[in-house]
Structures are given as C-alpha cells and as structure tokens.
Homo-oligomer: A and B are copies of this chain.
Amino acid sequence: MDTYAQMTKEGLQQELERLRKTYRTYQAKGLQLDMSRGKPSTEQLDIGMGLMNVLEPTDEMLTEDGMDTRNYGGVDGIPEAKRLMAEIMDVRPEQVMIYGNSSLNIMYDLVARAMLLGLLGKKPWRCEKDVAFLCPVPGYDRHFAITEHFGIRMINVPMTEEGPDMDRVEELVADPSVKGIWCVPKYSNPQGVVYSDRTIKRMAALRPAAEDFRIFWDNAYAVHHLYGPENGRMLNILEECEKAGNPDMVFMFASTSKVSFAGAGISAMAASAANLADAKKSMVIQTIGYDKINQLRHVRYFKDLAGVEAHMEKHAALLRPRFELVLSILERELAGRGAGSWIRPLGGYFITFESVEGCAARIVELAKDAGVVLTPAGAPFPYGKDPEDKVIRIAPSYPTMEELETATEIFALCARIATAEHELRQRG
C-alpha cells in the first residue's frame, strides 16, 4: 500500500472522492458524539457508590487520634488520610498535607502564593520583571491556563518517550526568570509517558539559576493503570531531590478525583518539611480546614493502597476495552498510510494522535462537521497553539463502546481526508 505521500495526484483525487462519499453518509446521520472529555463514564462512577453510606448516622466520627471529624481542627488533614495519600504518592505520611476536593486548586493557590508572597522567604514573583515556566508539550491545558492567568511566560519543552527533553530543560533553567516546570510524570496527559529513572534523576539534580525554582509534579494518574501497577513504577522525585541536595525543589500533587468521584474526592500535596511549613502558614489563614468527613469517608472505604488498587482494577476493566477499541480502529484504518501516528498508553485517560504536520486543526474541523466533538487542536499547548498543528488528544473514557466505535471510524476517516487534501496541496 502506498502512503498518501507516495500517491500520484490522480490517485489522491480518486481517494479523496471515495473518502468524501463515505464522509457524507456519516454527515447524513446527524450524529452527536464526543471524544473530547477526559471524564469517567457513568459505569465508572457507579463503582464507587459504596462511598455514599460507608459512614452511617450511628458511626463514631473520630480519627485514630481522637479528633471529631465533624468539628473544626486538623487543618492539614486527618492522620489516616495522610497515610492513605502517602501510600498513593509513594512518600511518608509526614510529607503529606491533605487539601480540599481538587489538586488543581492546590496548584493554583501555590502559584498565586508564590506571586503575591513568595516561597520560603524569597522575593514574591510579582516583584520580578519576568517570570517564566517550562511547559513540556503536549501537556495538560489546565496547567497552562494557571500560568497564563497570572501572566507567567510559558516556554515549550518537547516531550520525548522518557519525559521532557532534559537537555533543553537543563539549558533553560540557567535563566533566573524560569521559576517552574509543569510535569505529569506518570501516564502523562495526553501522551501516557511514564518518566524514566534517568529523566527523574536529571530533573532532581537540576541546578536552576532561580533559587525558588519549583517542579510542579502533578501525579494525577498515580494509580490509573490500564495493565496493572507494574507499568507505572517510577522513582520517588522527593527522595531523588533530597539526594541531589535539592530537598525543597519539588511539590508533588495527587487526588482521588478519578478514583472515587470527579470533584468529590480528596487531594494532597507532598513536599519537604520546609515547604509544608511554608504552605501551612498561608493555609491557616485561608481556611479553618478542609472537609475531614470526606477524608474519613475515603479512608473507611478504601482502607489502604491495596484497597485503592483493587478499586482501580475495576476502572481499568471498563477503560481497557475502550482504549483497545480506539487503537484497533486506528490500526485498521490508518496503519501504513502515512496519515498520522498514535501512542499506545499503559495508563491515564488519553490517546495522543499525531497527524501529518499542519493537519490537526483540519481533522478536528472535519470531525465536528460530521458530528464528532474532539478536544480543540492546540489545546495541549500553552496559549492553545500547537506550532506544528499535529497533536490531537483523544479521550475514550466517556462514550459507550458503540459510540466510540463510530466516533473513531469517523476520526480515522477525517485523518485520511485531511492528509489527502494536504498532499494534494503539496502537488500544487
């Protein structure tokens, strides 16, 4: 089979005609399909319904150290929740503080605090002429939205199969205006990359010009394996930073948003003792405390990491067939055609598709006009701008298998049309 790049002008024209005919039959169906949202399906949410009444009206609501979870106090979390989140994050309980329902909120507040008040006694970032963040791309749009919101300049760093391009990172942190880097180290959003040991060791050993440079280590998919925990084994960045003499350089984040419920979970930060004490100084001003009843609810339900992993296997059982369906259709419809490539992730929530350069926005547009909503091309990049216009993030979790099949077939068709159009334009 010839790739589109190898086809003649006439061959491409005939191919396009065929493809467009099929496309029109899909259009005629008036479909409404959505592969844009990285959110759990209803079946996944049903798995966790036991949380609803794990606490009963007659229950003792005390923590293991005797605090009443229904009252004020315990601003940085109940001991058993610290232990649970520590297990999930692969750190020690004393390295953890529990927050509210959203780890993104912790990150936003942290950047806001760095801007306004400064970190560990350093000058507030608002007093700097220029503040910049490194953004491995493609990455998580909501990270980039935070830095953009505060007017922080964002610098793209390419992702490799082992994590961010560390040559580039090492070079860039020599600039004192570079204050941080966004990382999703396990099953990265959207590519599903697990940072290699080598990457993590180089990350931990960075010598940034800015003393208050921070790694924002968003371990959003800590336990979100598609094929078991073995694929997600990762070095502990906090430990590596300590070893490298950079104990304060990293903030780790995790939550149960995609373990229990999106929005009704608990979140945590792990960091050095100095960073935790610094964060707590603002925490005790910002709130009287987070929802300790929900912390207790989670601990009583999940008990420990083994409980969480057993639960996550149920999520995986629902997610795996969806991922495999999408990948098998891409394979069947696109392999060998030179109409894009894709990554087969071992965890997380997304499949990343890379089109021929300059085709991503066109594919998204074509899909939309045939009734399939995709994440906007460019979304996984700072300022929503993919410089090569080739990355598309596919979210297979939410649609039914039937919807997903049709949606992926349409997607593959659109990738072929856009590529053929592109090749024809090349021929003039």
> What is the interface of chain A, defined by CB distance below 8 A to chain B?
37, 39-40, 42, 45, 48-50, 52-53, 55-59, 61, 68-72, 100-102, 104-105, 108-109, 112, 115-117, 126, 142, 145-146, 149-150, 257, 261-264, 282, 285-294
B285 touches A37 (CB 8 A): no
A-B contact pairs, 15 of them (CB 8 A): A45-B61, A49-B57, A49-B58, A53-B55, A53-B57, A101-B291, A102-B288, A102-B289, A104-B286, A146-B286, A263-B290, A263-B293, A264-B292, A264-B293, A291-B294
Find chain B residues with CB under 8 A from A68 CB: 42, 45
Q: Is the CB of A101 within 8 A of B290?
A: yes
A291 in complex: contacting residue of B61, B149, B264, CB < 8 Å: B264
Contact A146 B285 (CB under 8 A): yes
**CB nearest neighbor in B for A107:** B286
Q: Which residue of the partner chain B has the closest CB to A58?
A: B49
The CA-CA distance from A263 to B99 in the complex, in Å, is 12
For this chain, the copies found in one complex come to 2
Instruction: State which of B39, B145, B291 has its C-beta within 8 Å of the C-beta of A263.
Output: B291
Known: A53-B53, A116-B150, A126-B126. A287 touches B72 (CB 8 A): no
Question: Which chain B positions have C-beta within 8 A of A39?
Answer: 71-72
Interface centre among A100, A117, A263, A286, by most chain B C-beta atoms within 10 angstroms, is A263
Nearest Cβ distance between residue A216 and chain B, in whole angstroms?
Answer: 15
Contacts of A150 in B (CB 8 A): 116-117
- Apart from the given pairs A142-B285, A264-B291, 10 other A-B contacts in the complex at a CB distance below 8 Å: A42-B68, A42-B71, A48-B70, A53-B55, A72-B262, A100-B100, A145-B285, A146-B286, A263-B292, A294-B294
Contact residues in B for A262 (Cβ distance below 8 Å): 70-72, 288-289
A59 to B53, CA, bound (A): 11
Question: Are A108's CB and B149's CB within 8 A?
Answer: no
Q: Which 4 A-B pairs have the closest CB atoms?
A: A264-B293, A49-B57, A45-B70, A53-B53
Q: Which residues of B contact A45 (CB under 8 A)?
A: 61, 68, 70-71
The answer to whether residues A287 and B37 also contact, given A70-B261, A71-B262, A126-B126 and a CB cut-off of 8 A, is no
User: Which chain B residues lie closer than 8 Å to A285 at the CB level?
Assistant: 108, 142, 145-146, 149
A71 CB → nearest B CB, Å: 5
Q: A71-B262, A286-B104, A288-B142 are in contact. Are A52 and B42 (CB under 8 A)?
A: no
Q: A116 vs B292: C-alpha distance in the bound complex, in angstroms?
A: 30
